[in-house]
Amino acid sequence: MKRSNLPFTEDVLVKKLQQREEQAFHLLYDQYSPALYGVILKVVRDEEAARDVLQDSFVKIWRNIPSYDAQKGRLFTWLLNIARNTAIDAIRTRHSGQSIQTSTDIVDIVDQHQQAYQPAVETLDLPDKVNQLNPDRRMVIDLVYFYGYTHEEVAEKLNLPLGTVKTRVRSALQELKKLFGT
Amino acid sequence: MNTKEYIESGILEEYVLGTVSPQEKREVECMSSIYPEIRQELDTLSAAVEQYAQALRRDPPTDIKEWLLKELEFGPPEAEAVEESNPTPLLTNEENTETPIRTLNSREDAFDSRPTFRVTWLVAASLGLVVLFFAYFLYSQLQGSQQTLSSLRNSNEALTEEVRVLRAQQSQADQTLAILKEPGTRVIRLNPTDTTTANLATIYWNASTGQVNLEIDSLVRPPETQQYQLWAIVDGKPVDAGVFDVGDNTRVVQQAKKFLKADAFAITLERRGGSPTPTLSTMVVVGNVTS
């Protein structure tokens, strides 16, 4: 889907990016910024903060693209990780001092995630697929992937045994894999 | 390595979600570079997460792209970039152009090609140092192990020698025990004639078979020209019972001559080869059968 939009292969794009070609930047930005922005927004839940994070993310991407190695993973995944980590860092510094990780906050996060953000992802036909995810499993993915919780933290917050969390993480991703079967 | 087990362990899912430790991260990357099936699973999982992310897409505010196009540097990086990258730094340098003093502003120098070489040299030199230290470390380790090895070898030799001596002593003791166990064996202590030291030799004499065994306890080794000679006193007369040497390891000597009757045994020091009659003045020990 995303590759068909590119005038050349991802390998060539990466080479051009590593040469810091402006044309390649345009392609990269147009291709991936909506998804990165969506992820960032899901993490920081604030448009003003999200725009800062997106800017920071692209500065980091541009600075680190020369060291990107396609052997180690897919480009989009690499980009997502930079955006996600920058976003998680941003909420952590924003909330440092106050404790974000109290149990009421987690309920808060989960509630917002359940109510506010499910209707928000109406842009494509994909959300239907996301909604097919078992809610328990989806919550685990969201906590771990979007809010940067460790398995131990998820276990503590959801009051589940660590083993259950690990199993749930694995089955959640397997379900996701089936849903978006390649 | 069972790749199926590895795939099912859940580590790849953790990797994709970013919850692995740096060490696990390297492990997964290493494994996926070796095993295509692991790489395949990793890519599929990554793709699934990517699809999830695609589902969340929202158009970012348009001015972000403009801001980035202004802020980011374009054109080939490093040395070749000097000419082409000029426009961008100039934007921020306009105010600075009048000030010729640049020493403090090391950031700007970084755009020059020279520091790149300097950095390269620094990296090369520190790598060399690291290698040197590592080599020295390995060398000292090697020396340590060699020392340990040689000391182990020495103690092994000492132990082997000790075992050999003990085994010899054991076989002597076995021999003595066997003689003693034989019915009819009598033990005759040969006491020194000058009463200085005790228990120089012991005779095991079996009256029924006539067998005479001599155990040397602490007889001094004689000069090469001389030999000890054993005598049996039969009916008051000394009868030659053979000569013997005092060796390092031989303690029990079986005499060839047999005596069915004897009153006493004695040892004299004689010329090498023995003497037909005992030289009483050189008598070392004597022991009575009845005693």
Q: Are residues A11 and A78 in the same domain?
A: yes
Contacts of A71 in chain B (CB under 8 A): 33
**pLDDT average, residue stretch B272-287:** 76
What integer is the mean pLDDT of B204-224?
80
> Shortest Cα distance from B141 to chain A (angstroms)?
36
A133 pLDDT tier (thresholds 50, 70, 90):
confident
Confidence of residue B114 (pLDDT cuts 50, 70, 90): low
Question: Which phi and psi angles does B100 have, rounded to 5°?
Answer: -80, -20
Closest partner residue to A123 (CB to CB) among B29, B50, B58 is B58
Q: Hey, what's the torsion of the CAs at B45, B46, B49, B53, to 10 degrees?
A: -160
The CATH number for A150's domain is 1.10.10.10
The whole-number pLDDT of residue B107 equals 47
Angle between helices B63-71 and A47-64 (to 10 degrees): 30
User: How far, in Å, CA of B248 to CA of A17, rounded?
Assistant: 89
Q: Which residues of B touch A15 (CB under 8 A)?
A: none
- Predicted confidence at residue B97, as pLDDT, reads 44
Task: Point out the residue among B19, B47, B65 whose CB comes nearest to the CB of A182.
Answer: B47
Residues A117 and A31 in one domain: no
Sequence-distant (6+) residues with CB within 8 A of B291 are B188, B189
With a cut of 50, say whether residue B105 has pLDDT above it: no
- What is the token pair recorded at B11? 């580590």
The whole-number pLDDT of residue B108 equals: 44
Give the pLDDT score at A41.
Answer: 92
Number of domains in chain A: 2
A39 vs B contacts (CB less than 8 Å): 53, 56
The count of C-alpha atoms lying within 13 angstroms of the C-alpha of A109, restricted to the half-sphere facing its C-beta, is 23
Is any Cβ of chain B less than 8 angstroms from the Cβ of A100?
no
Strand, coil or helix: B256: coil
Query: d(Cα B174, Cα A18) in Å, to the nearest integer?
Result: 87
**Whole-number pLDDT of residue B227:** 83
Q: CA-CA distance, A101 to B277, in Å (whole number)? A: 112
Indicate the pLDDT class of residue A7, thresholds 50, 70 and 90: low
Of A98, A116, A140, the one marking the end of a domain is A98
Same domain flag for A115 and A84: no
Please name the residue of chain A whose CA is at the shortest distance from the CA of residue B52: A130
**Contact A35/B14, CB-based, under 8 Å?**
no
Q: What is the mean pLDDT of chain A?
A: 80
**According to the model, what pLDDT value does residue A127 have?**
63
Interface residues from chain B to A (CB-CB < 8 Å): 10, 13-14, 16-19, 29, 33, 42-61, 64-65, 67-69, 71-77
Last residue of a domain, one of A77, A98, A119: A98
d(CA B88, CA B84): 9
Say if A137 is an interface residue toward chain B (CB within 8 Å).
Answer: no
Co-location of A104 and A63 in the same domain: no
Counting beta carbons within 10 angstroms of the beta carbon of residue A49, is it exposed (0 to 12), middle (13 to 18) or buried (19 or more)?
middle
Q: How far is CA A73 from CA A67, A69, A174, B43, B55, in A?
A: 12, 7, 19, 7, 21
A132 at interface of B, judged by CB pairs closer than 8 A = no
The answer to whether A70 contacts chain B (CB < 8 Å) is no
Whether residue A72 and residue B55 make contact (CB cut-off 8 A), yes or no, is no
The pLDDT tens digits of the residues spanning B28-54 come to 988 888 889 999 999 999 999 998 888
Above 0.85 for ipTM, yes or no?
A: no
Chain-centroid distance of CA A35 in Å reads 8
Instruction: Kindly report, residue by residue over B146-189, the tens digit of the pLDDT.
Output: 999 999 999 999 999 999 999 988 888 888 888 888 888 888 87
| Cβ within 8 Å, pair B50-A34 | no
Partners of B54 on chain A (C-beta within 8 Å) are 1-2, 35, 124, 126
Give the confidence band of A75 by pLDDT, cuts at 50, 70, 90.
very high
Are the C-beta atoms of residues A157 and A182 closer than 8 Å to each other?
no
Q: Are residues A61 and A76 in the same domain?
A: yes
The residue segments making up the domain with residue A40 are 1-98
CB nearest A74 (choices: B46, B59, B69): B46
pLDDT of residue A25: 92
* Residue pairs spanning A and B at CB distance below 8 A: 151
Same domain assignment for residues A5 and A87: yes
Out of B29, B44, B68, name the one closest to residue A55 (CB). Answer: B68
Same domain, A24 and A114: no
Residue B117 pLDDT greater than 80, yes or no: no
Q: What is the pLDDT of residues A145-161, one digit of tens each?
A: 988 888 899 999 899 99
With contacts defined as CB-CB under 8 Å, which chain B residues touch A73?
29, 42, 46
Indicate the residue among A37, A70, A98 that finishes a domain: A98
The answer to whether B72 and A62 are in contact (CB under 8 A) is yes
The more confidently predicted of residues A120 and A90 is A90
Asked if A14 and A83 sit in the same domain, the reply is yes
- Tell me, yes or no, whether A57 and A129 share the same domain: no
What does pTM read for this prediction? 0.50
| Co-location of A76 and A154 in the same domain | no
Residue B135 binned pLDDT confidence (cut-offs 50, 70, 90): very high
Q: Which of A126, A151, A153 is best to mutate for the B interface (most B CBs within 10 A)?
A: A126
CA–CA min distance A170, chain B (Å): 6
Select the more confidently predicted residue: B205 or B251: B205
Q: How many CA atoms lie less than 13 Å away from B27 in the CB half-sphere?
A: 11
Distance from A74 to chain B by nearest Cα, in Å? 7
Give B280-287 contacts, CB < 8 A, sequence gap 24+.
B283/B193, B284/B192, B284/B193, B284/B200, B284/B219, B284/B228, B285/B190, B285/B191, B285/B192, B285/B193, B285/B200, B285/B201, B285/B219, B286/B190, B286/B191, B286/B193, B287/B188, B287/B189, B287/B190, B287/B191, B287/B203
Residues A75 and A163 reside in one and the same domain: no
What is the pLDDT, as a whole number, of residue B198?
A: 59
- What does the pLDDT look like over B84-99, one tens digit per residue? 444 444 444 444 444 4
The pLDDT assigned to A147 comes to 87
- Separation in Å, CA of A46 to nearest CA in chain B: 12
Q: Do the Cβ atoms of A176 and B17 come closer than 8 Å? A: no
The helix (H) or strand (E) run that includes residue B119 is: helix B114-181
Q: Taking CB atoms and an 8 Å limit, are A38 and B72 in contact across chains?
A: no
Three-state secondary-structure class, residue B273: coil
Distance CA B232, CA B254 (A): 14
Asked whether residue A108 falls in the same domain as residue A29, the answer is: no
CA distance A80 to A103: 28
pLDDT band at A11 (very low <50, low <70, confident <90, very high): confident
pLDDT at B199: 62
